[in-house]
Chains A and B, each alone.
Chain A
């Protein structure tokens, strides 16, 4: 996958989020470069996740923001070396996020100013939120058992790597996050695919998987396949 492919994927992912009404704000389709402040915060093992999240948000270091103020980052330096990240909002639980729709209606109706709306959101707090998920594909860094070419980092922890035997596309990653963490928006899309009979989003998700290339055998050994991995 090239930087141009990632750009095109971000564009499609944004269109998908618009379709299921999770879109809040778009910054760019172009893969992100390095933001030193964000990098230093993200790499500091003593920083709490909240700080990492806020630093990215404050510096607009994202491609797009979701309705619950979680955001996505996509970067690609050179061909086949790319990283995607989903940074959930650590301040809003699913219940608190459910209030956003009402508040947004108040703004549209003129019963609440936009500033009041933002202030109210900043005061909402919840106890549960999804884990941050990062995805990396790096043939250059492949090391059997230790550093899979294609892997996920789950949670605010840099040393776990969950192998995949496919190279995720931007849309596959975005769709996966939407399906697992935004069940209400996912379930609200009721169009049925004529061929498969599935909710059309399920069909979309399946189609996205088919577009993800299998990792080369040279960088995903038979011994490693004998262990657990995402398929």
Chain B
């Protein structure tokens, strides 16, 4: 893991290891520079325990002691009026009470991002002094621009030397914000220059080193689950709501494009090779990796879910390896009440993530099945994921599709999806088609004017550099070098 000496972005799909890389980086910085202050920040509250576990594990790989948590701060982006968080901590350092959500919402006005407003208000009210030597931002796609600016001010060093690393996944943005370039995220300095420009700060980097990494491989999901989740996320077997920018963008995220060039109205065939999704379960008779169900009513849906859970537990799965995600926010409590009751009748305990408004609770507790909403499940994973209330998802908008993608990609093994009525049946049919077609994805390319296009977000210079690098790597492979030898040759790591 190379320190590029300035800002860096890591992009990748769900399960490509962004959180793991940030945790490793935090542990390594702390190992090499124990006196430096490191901030690791995130959006999903239940991710704190995961990050702490990962950082501790990596650090203890080299050390017999735990990390010094006075030096590494794992902080939720906002925090709360009484709890820690990047915004809350900074406010208190300047003798300001963190703004409660209600006040921020009133001040921001209808439809505006309250968190973004509160952070902006803080930045404009006080001159924020640098506080951290390194800032690592996970789930960067969910943060408003002002939060990036706050992090910029909090990081020590001159422009282009500030060590800010942010992980970004535009497909997981369930808050429906467009992909934003670094220039937009961090804004401009008073001299009119962009605070962060990856081309400018990366100009002097060694050959092969990069401050803008795209992770093409995914390690969490089964190959067919990921391809199916992509198909659902884009809507390729139903109603296409979004698309990647072009063939090169698909390649960035680990697909082969079989019929280039991609043209409007023509069939596109994509294929995900095993090398980019190396995880594959040994097939088990009568236990499909993906299954869905459209129930006649709520009770029947709950029964189907709990029967599946019991089957998997009877088959040897630990209870903490089971995650139920409610896709229906309005009725999540009702789902969890009914499911937990049904499980309790069978002496299966549950850990209801939304039963705790005060802590950043551990996502997984030994001996308990986890019950969560999509928002609280982000960044976390389980061997078996069961998504309930799929009928509440609007399959005709980007927010709904992204919700499906985020929920489905929480699984390391098996995926179950269910809901009630016609909408559930439609989504179930779509998912069945996706699963049967995977590891291929086939669709007719829609007109980009009628859908959202997710930008590749690379400058022309970066595109040329990437093409050269890919060609060089191909040459090395053809010359018979192994992955290790190529890595040695390039003297590169991820960052």
Residue B303 at the chain A interface, CB threshold 8 Å = no
1/0 per residue, CB under 8 A from B, across A18-40: the answer is 00000111111110000000000
B375 touches A115 (CB 8 A): yes
Residue B100 at the chain A interface, CB threshold 8 Å = yes
Of residues 334 to 355 in B, which have CB atoms within 8 Å of A's CB atoms?
336-337, 340-341, 344-345, 347, 349-352, 354-355
Residues of B contacting A59 in the complex (Cβ-Cβ under 8 angstroms): 361-362, 365
1/0 per residue, CB under 8 A from A, across B85-127: the answer is 0000000000000001110000000000000000000000000
Closest to B103 in A: A123
Residues of A contacting B333 in the complex (Cβ-Cβ under 8 angstroms): 24-25, 104
| Measured CA separation A114–B365 after assembly (Å) | 22
B337 touches A26 (CB 8 A): yes
| Measured CA separation A229–B330 after assembly (Å) | 47
Contacts A122-B80, A123-B80 given: A60-B329 contact, CB under 8 Å?
no
Residues of A contacting B345 in the complex (Cβ-Cβ under 8 angstroms): 11, 29
**A residues with CB within 8 A of B:** 11, 14, 23-30, 54, 57-60, 65, 69, 91, 104, 107-110, 113-116, 118-123
Contacts A57-B356, A114-B332, A119-B101 given: A27-B80 contact, CB under 8 Å?
no
Contacts A28-B349, A114-B332 given: A69-B359 contact, CB under 8 Å?
no
| Measured CA separation A54–B336 after assembly (Å) | 21
Residue B184 at the chain A interface, CB threshold 8 Å = no
Partner of B330, one of A24, A25, A28, A110: A110
| Measured CA separation A59–B356 after assembly (Å) | 10
| Measured CA separation A115–B357 after assembly (Å) | 9
| Measured CA separation A59–B351 after assembly (Å) | 8
Partner of A118, one of B83, B347, B351, B354: B354
| Measured CA separation A11–B337 after assembly (Å) | 13
B351 touches A60 (CB 8 A): yes
Contacts A114-B332, A114-B354, A115-B375 given: A23-B349 contact, CB under 8 Å?
no
Residue B373 at the chain A interface, CB threshold 8 Å = yes
Partner of B359, one of A11, A54, A113, A115: A54
| Measured CA separation A3–B347 after assembly (Å) | 13
A114 touches B344 (CB 8 A): no
Residues of A contacting B332 in the complex (Cβ-Cβ under 8 angstroms): 114
| Measured CA separation A65–B332 after assembly (Å) | 16
Contacts A119-B101, A123-B101 given: A28-B344 contact, CB under 8 Å?
yes
| Measured CA separation A54–B344 after assembly (Å) | 23
Interface of A is mostly: helix
Partner of B101, one of A24, A108, A110, A120: A120
Partner of B368, one of A60, A110, A122: A60
CB-defined A-B contacts under 8 Å, sample of 17:
A23-B337, A24-B333, A26-B341, A28-B344, A29-B345, A30-B349, A54-B359, A57-B358, A58-B359, A60-B350, A114-B354, A115-B375, A119-B80, A119-B101, A122-B80, A122-B357, A123-B81
Identify the interface centre among B329, B345, B358: most chain A CB within 10 Å of its CB. Answer: B358
**B residues with CB within 8 A of A:** 80-83, 100-102, 329-333, 336-337, 340-341, 344-345, 347, 349-352, 354-359, 361-362, 365, 368, 373, 375-376
B329 touches A27 (CB 8 A): no
Residues of B contacting A24 in the complex (Cβ-Cβ under 8 angstroms): 333, 355
B355 touches A25 (CB 8 A): yes
For the A-B complex, the count of residue pairs with Cβ-Cβ distances under 8 Å equals 109
Closest to A25 in B: B355
A113 touches B368 (CB 8 A): no
Closest to B345 in A: A29
Residues of B contacting A121 in the complex (Cβ-Cβ under 8 angstroms): 357
| Measured CA separation A116–B359 after assembly (Å) | 15
Residues of A contacting B361 in the complex (Cβ-Cβ under 8 angstroms): 57-60
Expressed in whole angstroms, the minimum distance between the Cβ of B280 and any Cβ of chain A is 33
Expressed in whole angstroms, the minimum distance between the Cβ of A87 and any Cβ of chain B is 13
Expressed in whole angstroms, the minimum distance between the Cβ of A44 and any Cβ of chain B is 18
Please provide the 5 A-B residue pairs with the shortest distance between their CB atoms, ordered closest to farther.
A25-B355, A28-B349, A58-B359, A121-B357, A118-B357
| Measured CA separation A32–B359 after assembly (Å) | 21
| Measured CA separation A110–B332 after assembly (Å) | 12
B359 touches A29 (CB 8 A): no
Residues of B contacting A28 in the complex (Cβ-Cβ under 8 angstroms): 344, 347, 349-350, 368
B340 touches A25 (CB 8 A): yes
Residues of B contacting A30 in the complex (Cβ-Cβ under 8 angstroms): 344, 347, 349
Residues of B contacting A11 in the complex (Cβ-Cβ under 8 angstroms): 344-345
Residues of A contacting B340 in the complex (Cβ-Cβ under 8 angstroms): 25-27
A54 touches B351 (CB 8 A): no
Partner of B365, one of A60, A91, A110, A118: A60
Identify the interface centre among A24, A54, A118, A120: most chain B CB within 10 Å of its CB. Answer: A118
Partner of A27, one of B352, B354, B375: B352
Residues of B contacting A115 in the complex (Cβ-Cβ under 8 angstroms): 373, 375-376
B344 touches A29 (CB 8 A): yes
Expressed in whole angstroms, the minimum distance between the Cβ of A111 and any Cβ of chain B is 10
Expressed in whole angstroms, the minimum distance between the Cβ of A94 and any Cβ of chain B is 17
Partner of A29, one of B347, B351, B355, B376: B347
| 18 further A-B pairs in the complex, CB-CB below 8 A; given A110-B330, A119-B101 | A14-B341, A25-B333, A25-B354, A26-B337, A27-B350, A29-B345, A58-B356, A60-B350, A60-B355, A60-B368, A69-B355, A91-B358, A108-B331, A109-B330, A114-B354, A114-B373, A119-B80, A122-B80
Residues of B contacting A27 in the complex (Cβ-Cβ under 8 angstroms): 340, 344, 349-352, 355, 368
| Measured CA separation A109–B329 after assembly (Å) | 10
Closest to B100 in A: A123
Residues of B contacting A107 in the complex (Cβ-Cβ under 8 angstroms): 329-330
| Measured CA separation A24–B347 after assembly (Å) | 19
Expressed in whole angstroms, the minimum distance between the Cβ of B56 and any Cβ of chain A is 16
Residues of B contacting A123 in the complex (Cβ-Cβ under 8 angstroms): 80-82, 100-102
Residues of B contacting A26 in the complex (Cβ-Cβ under 8 angstroms): 337, 340-341, 344, 350, 352
| Measured CA separation A113–B174 after assembly (Å) | 13
Residues of A contacting B337 in the complex (Cβ-Cβ under 8 angstroms): 23, 25-26
| Measured CA separation A110–B329 after assembly (Å) | 8
Expressed in whole angstroms, the minimum distance between the Cβ of A110 and any Cβ of chain B is 6
| Measured CA separation A23–B329 after assembly (Å) | 18
Residues of A contacting B349 in the complex (Cβ-Cβ under 8 angstroms): 27-28, 30, 60
Residues of B contacting A54 in the complex (Cβ-Cβ under 8 angstroms): 358-359
B330 touches A108 (CB 8 A): yes
Closest to A110 in B: B330
Closest to B346 in A: A29
